[in-house]
Amino acid sequence: MTIADITREVAGALPEGMYIGGEFVEATGGQRIETIDPGTGRSFADFPAGRTEDVDRAVVGSRRALGGPWRQVTPAQRGAILSRAAALIRRDAQRLSLIETLDSGKPLAESRGDIETAAAYFAYYAGIADKLQGDTIPLGPDYISMTLHEPVGVTAHVIPWNFPLVTTARGVAPALAAGNTAVVKPATQTPLTAMALGPLLREAGLPDGVYNVVTGRGSDIGDALTGHPGVDHVTFTGSVPTGIGVMKTAADRVSSVTLELGGKSPVVVFADADLDAAVEGTLKAIYLNAGQVCSAGSRLIVERPVHAAMMERLVKRTAALRVGHGLTEPAMGPLIAAGHRRLVAGYVDDARRRGIAVVAGGREVEVEGCAGGYYYAPTILDDVPAADRVVQEEIFGPVLSVQVVDSPEEAIAAANGTPFGLCAGIYTRDVTRTLRFARDVEAGQVFINQYFAGGVATPFGGTKLSGFGREKGLAALASYIQVKCITARI
Ligand code: NAP
Ligand code: MG
């Protein structure tokens, strides 16, 4: 089948409405927005352009569900619903993967991985639903004191375009496990899989109104959602400026927030490292999802004795990566949008003008049969000064900047030398150096000898401008549980 055939088939069976109260509904006013396949630059579907009234409808309905049918569901039943949701996502993995690839541009293999990860979040949190229990506090013979773990209430989830279903599942699964309800606002570029999840959760037995999706532009409905008096917690994943705005809006209602923002994470390679593993790890760190990954390893910090060897291998491997439409199983797909490609290209062109060596890529790519797609070559900038813009700012594209260092002290200073603190990778065989680095690096997670090591069970989040709060693992539950302490004099 051709790309056009698959697109037609997928587009013919897409959800059309926002998912509110267990059904697909049109936006108030009936306006719609087109969603683009970044691989061709062509629109292939449209969805409702929600307005403030639609946000209100979703939040009010979600509150009603919270105090109504959802309250009647026992924790064990909640777990069973989440388990079934995982199975249904796996049942529909092929369809969901195709939708995700068309909507976001990512290679089909990556979409398959994303859909499986989304299912894994539901499976993981299914197991904790009936084990979230409080404490008893010993106060002596005259008292009994205990804590109840209550749901926070209605949780809002603002989702970015780079991992649409994964990010939705990452927030919604622990929220539901703890007995909350959810209103999701997907990114305008990639709303489809969050919409498609609605009927699957319903089929799994989730009461209507517990999971809702309001589509529409963040500039139109973002503040209405994050500042809504009926929303108790906001989980936001996206850019730093939007995250700051979300926090300010939520502050007016004293809602709690989790912010997962950008990154400029280092991959540090010491001279004693297994260079094969370091090369593989670096390629994956920067070219997964064309570098549009908050936790991408976008800076290689390498010790001078292995700089030349690393560069030789990295440049050779990078030049051999096939860039193409996500449905054709390429090594790397397109960027999300024309404007985003301009931004990425601008960073590289400016760096070149400043005299920085562009040793791989550094140009747009034409893919045969996909003339309108937003392709950009995997790119490496060598020996970049630490203060340079391409080291300091998140490019969010397939652009690796390389920094050369002469000691472990310089390496840690370089690793910590940006305003971000999301992830850090390290390649070395020296245990002491590894542990010192892991202790001293400013990051929410440290990957040793395998970049992106971990999974749904490992806590994830940032420090510095990368945000605060933790997602994934048991740590995520802290955002979705309210501790009530009850003390009785007896
Ligand atoms: P973005 O512009 O911040 O958008 C993120 C989400 O916020 C989208 O759903 C967007 O909706 C919505 N939004 C826009 N204005 C809003 C407002 N006033 N109130 C509430 N929501 C609003 O970021 P992006 O360009 O989609 O994503 C890329 C960025 O996200 C990168 O900087 C990356 O590092 C970060 N990111 C971080 C993580 C992490 O886990 N730390 C994961 C993925 C991405 P529209 O699409 O309708 O504008
Ligand atoms: Mg799209």
How far away, in angstroms, is 200 Cα from ligand 1 center?
A: 25
Q: Do residues 437 and 384 lie in contact, with contact meaning Cβ atoms separated by under 8 Å?
A: no
Name the residue with the closest Cα to ligand 1, atom 15.
Answer: 218
- Testing ligand 1's pocket by substitution, the residue of 157, 237, 244, 460 carrying the most ligand atoms inside 8 A of its CB is 237
Q: Do residues 376 and 347 lie in contact, with contact meaning Cβ atoms separated by under 8 Å?
A: no
Instruction: Domain 266-455: give its CATH superfamily.
Output: Aldehyde Dehydrogenase; Chain A, domain 2 (3.40.309.10)
For 328-384, the pLDDT digits (tens) are: 999 999 999 999 999 999 999 999 999 999 999 999 999 999 999 999 999 999 999
Q: Do residues 341 and 367 lie in contact, with contact meaning Cβ atoms separated by under 8 Å?
A: no
Tell me the three state secondary structure of residue 210. coil
Q: Which amino acid belongs to residue 162?
A: N
For 128-143, the pLDDT digits (tens) are: 999 999 999 999 999 9
The two tokens of residue 446 are: 């440290």
Contacts of 254 (CB under 8 A, 6+ apart): none
- Testing ligand 1's pocket by substitution, the residue of 183, 235, 294, 465 carrying the most ligand atoms inside 8 A of its CB is 294
Strand partners, 157: 184, 235
Output the pTM of the full model.
0.97
For 291-310, the pLDDT digits (tens) are: 999 999 999 999 999 999 99
Please give the pLDDT value at position 246: 98
The H or E element that residue 144 is part of is strand 143-151
Please give the pLDDT value at position 234: 98
Catalytic residue positions, numbered: 260, 294
Name the residue with the closest Cα to ligand 1, atom 38.
Answer: 294
Please give the pLDDT value at position 6: 97
- Residue percentage of the chain with pLDDT more than 90: 100
Q: Which residues of 414-448 are buried (b: 16+ CB within 10 A; e: fewer)?
A: bbbbbebbbbbbbbbeeeebbeebeeebbbbbbbb
Name the residue with the closest Cα to ligand 1, atom 11.
Answer: 218
CATH topology of domain 3-261+467-486: Aldehyde Dehydrogenase; Chain A, domain 1 (3.40.605)
Question: Counting ligands in written order, which one lies closest to the CA of residue 443?
Answer: 1
Counting atoms of ligand 1 from 1, which one is nearest the CA of 466?
41
Domain boundaries, the chain: 3-261+467-486, 266-455
Ligand 1 interacting residues, C-beta cut-off 6 A: 158-163, 185, 187-188, 217-219, 222-223, 226, 237-239, 242, 245-246, 260-263, 294, 394, 396
How far away, in angstroms, is 100 Cα from ligand 2 center?
A: 8
- Testing ligand 1's pocket by substitution, the residue of 31, 158, 221 carrying the most ligand atoms inside 8 A of its CB is 158
Name the residue with the closest Cα to ligand 1, atom 14.
Answer: 218
Please give the pLDDT value at position 36: 97
Compute the distance between CA of residue 12 and CA of residue 181 in angstroms, rounded to an integer: 30
How far away, in angstroms, is 101 Cα from ligand 2 center?
A: 9
